[in-house]
Structure 1
Amino acid sequence: MQINCIPSGALGANTYYVRDENTNKGFIVDPGGFSPRMADLIKKDGCDVQYVILTHGHGDHIGGVKEYLSLFPGAELVACIHEKDLLADSAFNMSEDCCGRKIELKADLWVEDKDTLEIGGMTLTFLHTPGHTPGGMCILVGNVLFSGDTLFQQSIGRTDFPGGSFPQLKNSIHTKLFTLPDDTVVYPGHMGSTNIGLEKRSNPFV
């Protein structure tokens, strides 16, 4: 599994391009903005991008969705069913503040907790982790977790935005993420990567 991270958008959200080298099929996670560098990398690989997947619907994570879907017309947009209202409301998702324009989206595929998706030789498992947003989710692929704004390196996502809840977020982290193996590598929506064992031992917020 090839993982590429290029921060994009006004707030530099981590955008991930993930490819299964054996089948050359892949997906994009949280396109905060459109990155010509990432687009060139995908084209160079000749990757068949099948999905654009959102860990949540805040404006700083969705600014490049329409551009990537236009560039890869065969790709489908994936999001948690509980994020439907936030994605559909530009005021709720704060896209105008983050991106300078109103963005309202509807997923092609709505998923729920523990749903799975096959992409090439990769199996993706979606974990509903509310707290940062009502429909926030993480994506588990083998021993790799794309955590969005649920869990960061020695930090957690904000809970003071509309729809946020610190008790919910803490519960999500403890019941959905800290039950994963300690060597699970965490690729968050901002900042650098970490692992579950380190966060269990020393994250000061949970």
Structure 2
Amino acid sequence: MADILYNNLGVIRFLNSPVPSNAYLVVCEKHKRCFVVDPGTKEQNNIRDYVQKKGYSLDYIMLTHEHFDHCWGVNSLLDTFNAKVVTTRLCSHWIKTPMNYFNKLYFNSEKMYSVNKVDVIVEDVDMKLEWNDYIISFIAAKGHTNRGMCISVSNALFTGDTMIYKTKPFLKKKYGASIEDLKKTIDFIYEFFDNDIIVYPGHGEKFQLIEMQEYYKDYFAGKYDDHLRSSSILSEKPIK
């Protein structure tokens, strides 16, 4: 079932695999149009079949950041749909570079992967797009990586791995992570958005923004130690 947002937008969550990250389909039922956020499963059969069954037009594939469990399914969707891929500038450079780490890790394969194309760089469109009757806004989101963004439409905020419910941020310097940048991003989100906005994270369950405010205050005050250790939900190890 879709979450129904203001102005008759719908959000449907799909669980990516083999890493259990979240992909989201955002649907405008009035115009029969939709866009996808973070398709991380290599073969996107579930989302493809859902969109085709409903008779939607897939307009955009939007990536919160460059990690493979959020972008591995882009080419699969592009095989079927004439959608535009939307990223930050730094993310676009990264995902177009062929890599085989994830194929090696999960499928013992040397096959290389890169995203075939990027059509929209958010910095080139003033960090927003007009879509049907809506404005989609993009927010620079450094911290988890230095290439990320959050995506806002109606009363929904898609945060990728920038915000995950009651989970310590996953920060590794080799991915361009920075706790200082993350604090700036989190502070901006709480200043800019209403407390009742619904956060759709890259892993785990949705939540209202207000639900994590005290958690982040404590985190940045140093009350949660070992901030460089990853949560089990973000483990790089293959899931058996």
TM-score if structure 1 supplies the norm length?
A: 0.90
Q: Which residue of 2 aligns with 1:172?
A: 185
CA distance in 2, matches of 1:10, 1:118: 33
What is the aligned-residue identity percentage?
Answer: 28
Q: Which runs of 5+ in 2 are unaligned?
A: 1-8, 221-240
Per-residue deviation, residues 9-59 of structure 1 (Å, max 9, x unmatched): 310210111111111111011000134222221112111100111000101
Match of 2:138 in 1: 126
Q: Which of 140-149 and 100-109 deviates more?
A: 100-109
Greater Rg, structure 1 or structure 2? 2
Runs of 4 or more consecutive aligned structure 1 residues displaced over 6 Å after TM superposition: none
Q: Contact 2:128–2:137 at 8 Å: present in 1 too?
A: yes
- 1:25–1:119 contact (8 Å) kept in structure 2: no
Q: Report the aligned-residue RMSD.
A: 2.1
Residue 215 of structure 2, aligned match among 197, 202, 205: 202
Distance 1:14 1:147, change over 3 A: same
Paired residues of 1:56 and 1:83 also in contact (CA < 8 A): yes
1:86 to 94, 108, 111: 94
- Of 21-30 and 175-184, more deviation after overlay is shown by 175-184
Q: 1:55 aligns with which of 60, 64, 84?
A: 64
The normalised TM-score by structure 2 is 0.78
Describe the SS at the equivalent of 1:155.
Answer: coil
Does residue 26 (structure 1) correspond to residue 67 (structure 2)? The answer is no
Q: Is 2:49 aligned against 1:40?
A: yes
Provide Cα deviations, 1:68-115, integer angstroms capped at 9, x if missing partner.
Answer: 01111x211110112233223345x95445664432234111112951
Higher strand proportion (structure 1 or 2) = 1
Contact 1:114 1:128 in 2 (8 A): no
Match of 2:149 in 1: 137
C-alpha contact (below 8 Å) 1:153/1:192 kept by paired residues: yes
1:158 counterpart residue number: 170
SS of the equivalent of 1:89 reads: coil
Aligned residue pairs total 204
- Deviation at 1:146? 0.5
Shift of the alpha carbon at 1:202? 2.9
Distance in 1 of aligned mates of 2:143 and 2:98: 19
| AA partner of residue 42 (structure 1) | V
